[in-house]
Amino acid sequence: MAMGVSVERIDAAGPASVGESPVWRAAEEAFYWVDIPARKIVRFHVATGVRSEWVLPEKVACIAFDQAGRVLAGMETGLFSVTLPEAGGSGSAGASATVPPSQIRKLAAPVFPAQDMRFNDGRCDRQGRFWAGTMVQDMSLASPLGALFRFDAQGVLSAPVIDGLITQNGLAWSPDGATMYLSDSHPLKRVIWAFDFDVESGTPRNRRVFADLHDHAGRPDGAAVDADGCYWTCANDAGLLLRFTPQGVLDRKIEVPAVKPSMCAFGGRDLDTLFVTSIRPGAGATDDDGAVFAIRAGVRGLPEPEYTGAL
């Protein structure tokens, strides 16, 4: 491990089966993420150590917030607006609540080209448009029917912007928003692409290979960009965080105790903590697998953009 790097498991956050979509919400000084098969959105309030969770009616894979604190969630059957009630009402660690149907509203849905599909990785671009991709849930099929979609501030879901994806992942934008990153984390792909991104229209162009993880280790799962414009990807199956410069050169490697780190996001009051979710494998799991980690690597991130439309 590099000098000056600290890696802490957040025990109070609790384990997940498939932890994904970490989001730092500065207004609450709280860290959110999802557990996909458990159908949960989870919150950890850093200052108090209080963990809360909300159960949804279907799998939830990615989330973003609007300025009012409502959640935009990519789930199995579409994109939804979710208003989170007070979890349990007690404020105690582990408080849980089921989100009532009256506080969940379907916003849009693509035409899924196959059965058993869902949304996967998603987040907002620098202009506050929400992007998310779809995938066939059975990864053993290696079905290239996944696609990337844009949900704009007017509440319009685009046609597929990028298609032919097996396991869409790795969405992130450069600090100026002019470069978009996208990966396919399926074992047959393991590639990260970069695009020139038109910030006015929200259109990616000039797709090119940014990094091929066949040349490194693991599969490129969720990602984040730091204040220096470097791209951090979770190297799933390799227990690593990899940082690439804007030129696509690997310049840092940090070991993570979990073998399957899944997504990372900068947070903390100074945005100097990299929160990392992970996945608990089906066999041979340790206490670290499925946990959330706080990594301090001497770098800062950027504020997570909020969705600018009406939820």
- Structure confidence by residue, pLDDT tens digits, 251-304: 999 999 999 999 999 999 999 999 999 999 988 889 999 999 999 999 999 999
For residue 12, what pLDDT is reported?
A: 85
Strands (E), 115-187: 117-124, 130-136, 146-151, 162-165, 168-173, 179-184
**Which CATH superfamily groups domain 6-296?**
TolB, C-terminal domain (2.120.10.30)
d(CA 71, CA 30): 14
| CB environment 103-132: b (16+ within 10 A), e (fewer) | ebeebeebebeeeebbbbbbbbbbbbbbbb
Asked if residue 236 belongs to a known ligand binding site, the reply is no
Helix (H, G, I), strand (E, B) or coil at 218: coil
pLDDT given for residue 89 in this prediction:
42
pLDDT at 124: 98
The answer to whether 221 is a known ligand-binding residue is yes
**pLDDT of 245 over the 90 cut:** yes
For residue 205, CA distances in Å to 208, 209, 224, 301 come to: 9, 13, 20, 25
Tell me which long-range contacts 231-239 makes (C-beta under 8 A, separation of at least 24): 231/172, 231/181, 231/192, 232/264, 232/274, 233/170, 233/183, 233/192, 234/261, 234/262, 234/263, 234/264, 234/276, 235/261, 236/185, 236/260, 236/261, 236/262, 236/279
pLDDT tier at 86 (50, 70, 90 boundaries)? confident
* pLDDT digits 0-9 by tens, 206-216: 999 999 999 99
Q: What are phi and psi of 12, to 5 degrees?
A: -65, -20
Q: CA–CA separation, 178 vs 197, rounded Å?
A: 5
Residue 159 neighbours by CB under 8 Å, 6+ apart: 149
Domain boundaries, the chain: 6-296
- Span between the terminal Cα atoms of the chain, in Å: 43
As a whole-number percent, the residues of the chain with pLDDT over 70 amount to 96
Residues 33 and 60 sit within 8 Å (Cβ to Cβ): no
Non-local (6+) Cβ contacts of 92 within 8 A are 50
Residue 30: Cβ within 10 Å count? 18
Return all residues near 115 (Cβ < 8 A) that are at least 6 apart: none
Residue 105 labelled as part of a binding site = no
Give me 31's structure tokens. Answer: 């860290």
Residue 169, marked binder: yes
Report the pLDDT value the prediction gives residue 1, as an integer from 0 to 100: 45
> DSSP letter at 214?
G
Instruction: Give the confidence band of 14 by pLDDT, cuts at 50, 70, 90.
Output: confident
Active site residue 221: yes
pLDDT for residue 282 = 82
Helix, coil or strand: residue 102: helix
At residue 297, the pLDDT reads 94
The model's pLDDT over 89-109, given as tens digits with 9 standing for 90+, comes to 444 456 789 999 999 999 999
How confident is the model at residue 96, as a pLDDT? 86
Catalytic residue among 221, 226, 237, 289: 221
Instruction: Determine whether the annotation assigns residue 163 to a binding site.
Output: no
pLDDT digits (tens, 9 = 90+) for 171-186: 999 999 999 999 999 9
Mean pLDDT of the chain: 94
Phi-psi region of 295 (alpha: psi -120 to 50; beta: other; left: phi over 0): beta
Would you say 20 is a known binding-site residue? Answer: yes
Distance of alpha carbon 49 from alpha carbon 289, whole angstroms: 20
Greatest extent of the chain over all pairs of C-alpha atoms, in Å: 51
CB 290 within 8 A of CB 49: no
Report residue 150 as tokens: 């844009």
62, pLDDT greater than 80 = yes
